[in-house]
Structure 1
Amino acid sequence: MPVKAKICGINHPEALTAAASGGARYIGLVFFAKSPRNVSLPLAAELARTVPTGVRTVGLFVDPTDAFLDRALAQVPLDLIQLHGDETPERVAGIRAAHRVPVMKALKVETAADLDAASAYEPVADMLLFDAKPPKGSALPGGNGVAFDWTLLTGRHWSKPWMLSGGLTPETVADAIRISGAASVDVSSGVEDRPGHKDPALIHAFLNAVRGA
């Protein structure tokens, strides 16, 4: 089965077009003010309206309030909520129930013990995402261009679909898929020519590498 790819942090139409035309299955919109990839709700709504059928629109949130989720979902058609903060399993379950949108929970990984935390989220999340722990002092929970040891995922199985993230690039993604066994991968900074700006050529290179894997 082909590996699915998510291009996260889309914030301009050219990047969205490159992702969709290149075969990405997921488009990620970041709603986190500290991120260079942050998008306003009006811009996100405009971008989301151009996402073609068959591509899922994902909204990335970091410890969001219910009020902000309400505002975002009222304006932006999202297929999946990505929670990338310190949300507890109870909070994930509450968001999923209250907003009636599937939820993907991101988990920050450095050691095998960090993967053990996934079991608490399996009953309440629709998908899991394994990302590298951010460097000390970073204000960003993801999108730092940092990878973790992919062998930690080798042979591991979860009851829910999962996605690999963290420091992936067009040059490394094939090895990451082979080593980890990932069926879905997520990239953000690895397809940028400067912080927060997606390069359509790098997006195509990444998606070609995923297809080749």
Structure 2
Amino acid sequence: MRVKICGLRSRAEVKAAVAAGASYGGLVFFPRSPRHLPLGDARWIAQAMPDGFLRVALTVNAADEELDRIVEAIPLDMLQLHGAEPPDRVADIRERYGLPVMKAIGVAEEQDLAVLPEYSRVADQILIDARPPRGAALPGGNGLSFDWRLLSGKRWGVPWMLAGGLTASNVAEAILTTGATQVDVSSGVEVAPGYKDPRLIAAFTAAALAAGGRGPRGSALDGSGVAV
């Protein structure tokens, strides 16, 4: 089980995520988000992330010029594309920057999963999030979940991560229902938009790691994350 804490905005939050046992730290570059970081702040925060703690930059429909600035300023391990980037754009970004790419897909109903095979051919990972409501200001981080049963028994050709409305109180159920071996949280560990609570980070990560050794409906997982 691997946990991603997204929207980190301070070194104290990084320290809390690392201490809790999270594997990824997300830095948000989207001005409309309360978790948005100026490049200077992001570089300072990224430098506090130890080796082995994966630095992920979240962008939304970013142009090459914006991505150039981010990649040049910050030591990164992965780019997360959280907008409406089509598969050919995902492939172009992956080739241009030579970094692993995680593509976020919003899901509200089963037909939303139809695009996943195509994206799994061009992305290194898929993040399955709750589809934002029509007119929402943010593409993610809205604290919304979806019917996790839509993912039960489904797998794709690349690793995938579950997001959307996860908290310490429901992440175990989400893992057991979907068989997810990676989970992402942002608003679920906040006391206010953009402000993470170290205690909530610790509780969420502990709950996810505790549930991570079991698969859908309590079946055991082998080392590859496949239910057996």
Structure-2-length-normalised TM-score: 0.91
Summarize the alignment of residues 94-113 of structure 1 with structure 2, pairs less than 5 Å apart: 94-113=92-111
Tell me the equivalent position of 1:184: 182
Instruction: Write out per-residue CA displacement over residues 148-177 of structure 1, whole angstroms, 9 at most, x where no aligned residue.
Output: 100000000101000000000010000000
Structure 1: runs of 5 or more not aligned:
none
Tell me the equivalent position of 2:202: 204
Paired residue secondary structure (2:33): coil
Structure 2: runs of 5 or more not aligned:
212-228
Instruction: Write out per-residue CA displacement over residues 73-98 of structure 1, whole angstroms, 9 at most, x where no aligned residue.
Output: 00011100000000000000000001
Cα distance in 2 for partners of 1:134, 1:43 equals: 28
Cα distance in 1 for partners of 2:85, 2:54 equals: 23
Q: Could you tell me how far 1:30 is from its partner in structure 2? A: 0.3
Cα distance in 2 for partners of 1:158, 1:211 equals: 22
Q: Could you tell me how far 1:13 is from its partner in structure 2? A: 1.4
Structure with the greater relative contact order (CA < 8 A, sep ≥ 6): 1 or 2?
A: 1
Matching of residue 29 in structure 1 with residue 27 in structure 2: yes
Instruction: Write out per-residue CA displacement over residues 13-48 of structure 1, whole angstroms, 9 at most, x where no aligned residue.
Output: 111100011100000000000000001111110011
Tell me the equivalent position of 1:117: 115
Structure 1 range deviating more: 13-22 or 183-192: 13-22
Cα distance in 2 for partners of 1:157, 1:170 equals: 24
RMSD between aligned residues: 0.6
Residue type matched to 1:115 in 2?
Answer: L
Q: Determine which of 50, 53, 56 is the counterpart of 1:55.
A: 53
Q: Which runs of 4+ in 1 moved over 3 A?
A: none
Paired residue secondary structure (2:135): coil
Paired residue secondary structure (1:101): coil
Matching of residue 126 in structure 1 with residue 98 in structure 2: no
Structure 1 range deviating more: 129-138 or 89-98: 129-138
Tell me the equivalent position of 1:42: 40
Instruction: Write out per-residue CA displacement over residues 168-188 of structure 1, whole angstroms, 9 at most, x where no aligned residue.
Output: 001000000000100000000
Tell me the equivalent position of 1:195: 193
| Percent sequence identity over aligned pairs | 51
Tell me the equivalent position of 2:140: 142
Q: Could you tell me how far 1:54 is from its partner in structure 2? A: 1.2
Q: Could you tell me how far 1:137 is from its partner in structure 2? A: 2.4
Cα distance in 2 for partners of 1:142, 1:31 equals: 13
Cα distance in 1 for partners of 2:167, 2:110 equals: 23
Cα distance in 1 for partners of 2:194, 2:140 equals: 12
Q: Determine which of 2, 6, 9 is the counterpart of 1:8.
A: 6
Paired residue secondary structure (1:178): helix
Q: Could you tell me how far 1:105 is from its partner in structure 2? A: 0.3
Tell me the equivalent position of 2:163: 165
Paired residue secondary structure (2:103): strand
Residue type matched to 1:198 in 2?
Answer: K
Q: Could you tell me how far 1:12 is from its partner in structure 2? A: 1.2
